[in-house]
Structure 1
Amino acid sequence: MSKKVIIIGGGIIGLCSAYYLHKEGHNITVIDQSSMDYGASYVNAGYLTPSHIIPLAAPGVMKKGLKWMFNPASPLFIKPRLTSDFLQWAWAFNKSCSSENVVRSISVIKDINLLSRDLYSEIKEQEDFNFHLERKGLLMLCQSDKLLEEEILIGKIAQEEGLPVKNLSFPELKQLEPNIQLHAKGAVLYECDGHTTPHLFMKEMKAYLEIAGVTFRKNEKINDIDVRNNKIVSITSTSNTYTADEYILAAGSWSKLLSKKLGIKLLLEAGKGYRINSKRDLGITMPTILAEAKVAVTPMQGFTRFAGTMEIAGINHDINKVRVEAIANAAHRYYPDIILTYDEKNDAACGLRPVSPDGMAYIGKSSKCKNLTIATGHAMMGWSMGPATGKLVSELISDKKPSLNLEVYHPDRRF
């Protein structure tokens, strides 16, 4: 049965939800407070990462966060705030940084990433899209023996999960990247991964959905949500009041603010990431994570992107030049011939990624609102998990059995 569905949020999760809901014959409206041409869905590393089987909340991460608190150039920066929301999130995050959380998460993270990776290919083939998509794998490039050993151990876990992984010596690395000078001990290659150029996919998907009849309401902020008898009756934006049968909350880092209007306590913090683009031919051909620096390097269509940092400091789009410089310095350390220019660094942009306390997304219906589906909290893997999340959301609203078990993603789960 066709339903009228409103999606709050026009990022990768919102668009993929709209795509699959349209395929099911539903009437879709997407509402976004922005112009829908910037933010995390446009500045990310573009990775499709079944390899990223370890959640952000892992043993030792909170300890590192506290250690790095006074280092503005650190890969992870957590700015302490004396607000109840942040303190509750920090307490839950610290509690989740456990071996139990990692073991519980590995298979489910792998499964949703594999599904999503394959859906990108399926969308491109079925719709005859032209967006950039490659399956070359992902390198974890290490400069120290210690971290190389750690990455090899993670690679073994991935192999046990059925993922193809290779350990590469420096000479083997040079065979993969013959045109660029490297400063590294070795690397782990995840052959299962792919990469894209994000803005090309977003542009093509928006154009497809508009032609398909999906309605877009840009630059409209949701100001009020009318809830009666455990059900959304209407939502009011800066310009209009809307009614629908079903509502999807896919507003990224802003989802927490809107969930409060529904009486739902969604523990979520904004994790800012930065990107630097270089349109020069740098010679890099392989998507690579500079392991010690936690910087992602992606050869995209027409440019190379350097992206990184996780800055948990509230919702803002301020550009911290120190963190931008840290990404540029990391690039030079691993690729000695590469010096990013002043103009390239000055053109840096950022995006906010919604981070849950346990590193797992929120996907599903809250018991507190029966016609609301929540789809947020993907942290660094929103891009990688976008199509799978959209498909799962569509299955829930279409009363179909979900492709994956959604228990671990339940929005009402306790920490």
Structure 2
Amino acid sequence: MKSIIIIGGGIIGLSAAYYLQKEGHQVTVIDQSNMDEGASYVNAGYLTPSHIIPLAAPGVIKQGIKWMFNPKSPLYLKPRLEMDFLKWVWAFNKSANKKHVERCIPVIRDINLLSRDLYQDIKQDEGFNFQYEKKGLLMLCQTDKMLEEENEVAHKAIEAGLPVKELSLEELYKMEPGVKMNVKGAVHYECDVHTTPGEFMSEIKSYLKQKGVIFNTNEKVEDIEVKKNEITAIKTNKQTLYADEYVLAAGSWSTLLGKKLGISIPLQAGKGYRINTEKNTGITVPAILAEAKVAVTPMHGFTRFAGTMEVAGINHTINKVRVDAIAQAANRYYPEIRIEQEEKDKAACGLRPVSPDGMPYIGRSAKCDNLTIATGHAMMGWSLGPATGKLVEEIIAGKKTSMPVDAFHPDRKF
């Protein structure tokens, strides 16, 4: 049995805590927040084997530059003369090529499928009640151009062995008869699952506390002591803590902590927003509004509309223009659904840690022998939580991992 400190109490940190305590380790989770907000709570709740294309794909930076001058655009890169940001943009652009995409597709598929099934295992093994519905995911398209693009991605998914169907309007309305849609057609990924994130987070926290996992909330790591390639202690704003092993799962803050260890973890915080409506929308199948890049999820008790990738540094400022853009997109695709001002006023945001190549960091850096890094999941953090947690446990134990992890190596070059 080892003593293990996990820095970060989001979905990645809690998933690691789950699998580590299962193996008998004494686990402590430290988080600078109260652990009731952020990306793990405001995401779309998707478990997405369908999302096989990494964020670093051809044309993304070019499109991002075009959208830079549109305050309502789905992707916004705030230009700033910061070395970390400039290096990240350079590395992202370098990674955004066809060869990189083709290399990543099977890896992203496999970790998503592993994680989707692990969610179900946790639900069954622990008797949890969180929403887990396998209705798939619709890509709703308003233009012929977008429908053509989505069909191309669908063909790649089919080649990768995923069950996907192109739907006519008639087939779409048979699947989703209770809501009027202003679209030309859709693609249906049958492999996807949706959840209500707050339910899972509540259940896993309660479970871990019952199992003896220690939670230090509202506690910020301020310094890390290292000797001979090993962390010997971490200092927070409240105390000094010691452990045999450490896990860095601090999301968008991981880069700052990595610097204290002399480890480069290139990341940018990608802010996303969500709006909830408790009105009966008639929506029963999750969907992505393809042109607007807005995710729609029928959760327990409400429908969630989530979207945007705002790369503008670490901040939690709510940009009302971007919230309005999500609400307007909902109405464009579902003309009978109108999001009220009161609902927009309750919008929340979260920061997703985005690596330059669209792949997470999972593994040990050569610069620190008793640290396992688990961050950089971007928009797939919720989807990849349990798989990442299981891989972290296997890496710490020196076991054969459930899947190859070379593509996630923290020391990879860009």
> Normalising by the residue count of structure 1, what TM-score does the alignment of the two structures yield?
0.99
- The count of corresponding residues between Structure 1 and Structure 2 is 414
- 1:101 maps to what in 2? 100
Shift of 1:143: 0.5
- 2:18 maps to what in 1? 19
- 1:332 maps to what in 2? 331
- 2:150 maps to what in 1? 151
- 1:313 maps to what in 2? 312
Shift of 1:363: 0.2
- 1:31 maps to what in 2? 30
SS of the equivalent of 2:264 reads coil
SS of the equivalent of 2:295 reads strand
SS of the equivalent of 1:277 reads strand
- 1:293 maps to what in 2? 292
- 1:376 maps to what in 2? 375
SS of the equivalent of 2:166 reads strand
- 2:66 maps to what in 1? 67
- 1:188 maps to what in 2? 187
- 2:341 aligned with 1:366, yes or no? no
Q: Distance in 1 between matches of 2:290 and 2:204?
A: 32
Alignment of 1:236-251 (within 5 A): 236-251=235-250
Q: Distance in 2 between matches of 1:95 and 1:185?
A: 35
Once the two structures are superposed, residues 22-73 of structure 1 have per-residue CA deviations (whole angstroms, 9 ceiling, x without a partner) of 1111110000000000000000000000000000000000000111111111
- 2:170 aligned with 1:171, yes or no? yes
- 1:355 maps to what in 2? 354
Q: Amino acid of the residue matched to residue 212 of structure 2? A: G
Once the two structures are superposed, residues 377-410 of structure 1 have per-residue CA deviations (whole angstroms, 9 ceiling, x without a partner) of 0000000000000000000111211111110000
Q: Distance in 1 between matches of 2:403 and 2:410?
A: 15
- 1:40 maps to what in 2? 39
- Alignment RMSD: 0.5
Q: Distance in 2 between matches of 1:80 and 1:99?
A: 26
Shift of 1:86: 0.5
Q: Distance in 2 between matches of 1:199 and 1:339?
A: 24
Q: Amino acid of the residue matched to residue 372 of structure 2? A: T
- 1:81 maps to what in 2? 80
- 2:227 maps to what in 1? 228
- 2:278 maps to what in 1? 279
Q: Amino acid of the residue matched to residue 27 of structure 1? A: Q
Q: Structure 1: which 4+ aligned runs deviate by more than 3 Å?
A: none
SS of the equivalent of 1:174 reads helix
Q: 1:133–1:195: 8 Å Cα contact kept in structure 2?
A: yes
Gaps of 5+ in 1: none
Shift of 1:80: 1.0
Q: 1:356–1:378: 8 Å Cα contact kept in structure 2?
A: yes
Q: Amino acid of the residue matched to residue 63 of structure 1? A: K
Q: 1:24–1:398: 8 Å Cα contact kept in structure 2?
A: no
Q: Distance in 2 between matches of 1:406 and 1:285?
A: 36
Q: Amino acid of the residue matched to residue 391 of structure 1? A: K
SS of the equivalent of 2:306 reads strand
Q: 1:270–1:352: 8 Å Cα contact kept in structure 2?
A: yes
Once the two structures are superposed, residues 163-199 of structure 1 have per-residue CA deviations (whole angstroms, 9 ceiling, x without a partner) of 1001100111111111111000000000000000000
SS of the equivalent of 1:133 reads coil
Q: 1:124–1:131: 8 Å Cα contact kept in structure 2?
A: yes
SS of the equivalent of 1:400 reads coil
Q: Amino acid of the residue matched to residue 45 of structure 1? A: A
SS of the equivalent of 1:70 reads coil
Once the two structures are superposed, residues 294-342 of structure 1 have per-residue CA deviations (whole angstroms, 9 ceiling, x without a partner) of 0000000000000000000000000000000000000000000011000
SS of the equivalent of 2:374 reads strand
Q: Distance in 1 between matches of 2:178 and 2:121?
A: 33
- 2:258 maps to what in 1? 259
Q: Distance in 2 between matches of 1:279 and 1:74?
A: 26
Q: Distance in 1 between matches of 2:360 and 2:223?
A: 25
Shift of 1:153: 1.1
Q: Distance in 2 between matches of 1:216 and 1:266?
A: 25
> Normalising by the residue count of structure 2, what TM-score does the alignment of the two structures yield?
1.00
Q: Amino acid of the residue matched to residue 239 of structure 2? A: N
Q: Distance in 2 between matches of 1:58 and 1:29?
A: 37
Once the two structures are superposed, residues 68-127 of structure 1 have per-residue CA deviations (whole angstroms, 9 ceiling, x without a partner) of 111111000000110111011010011111101101100000000000000000000000
Q: Amino acid of the residue matched to residue 217 of structure 2? A: K
Q: Distance in 1 between matches of 2:294 and 2:317?
A: 19
Q: Amino acid of the residue matched to residue 228 of structure 2? A: N
Q: Distance in 2 between matches of 1:182 and 1:175?
A: 12
Q: Distance in 1 between matches of 2:228 and 2:209?
A: 34
Q: Amino acid of the residue matched to residue 79 of structure 1? A: K
Shift of 1:253: 0.2
Percent of aligned pairs sharing the same letter? 68
SS of the equivalent of 2:105 reads helix
Q: Distance in 2 between matches of 1:160 and 1:66?
A: 31
SS of the equivalent of 2:68 reads helix
Shift of 1:230: 0.7
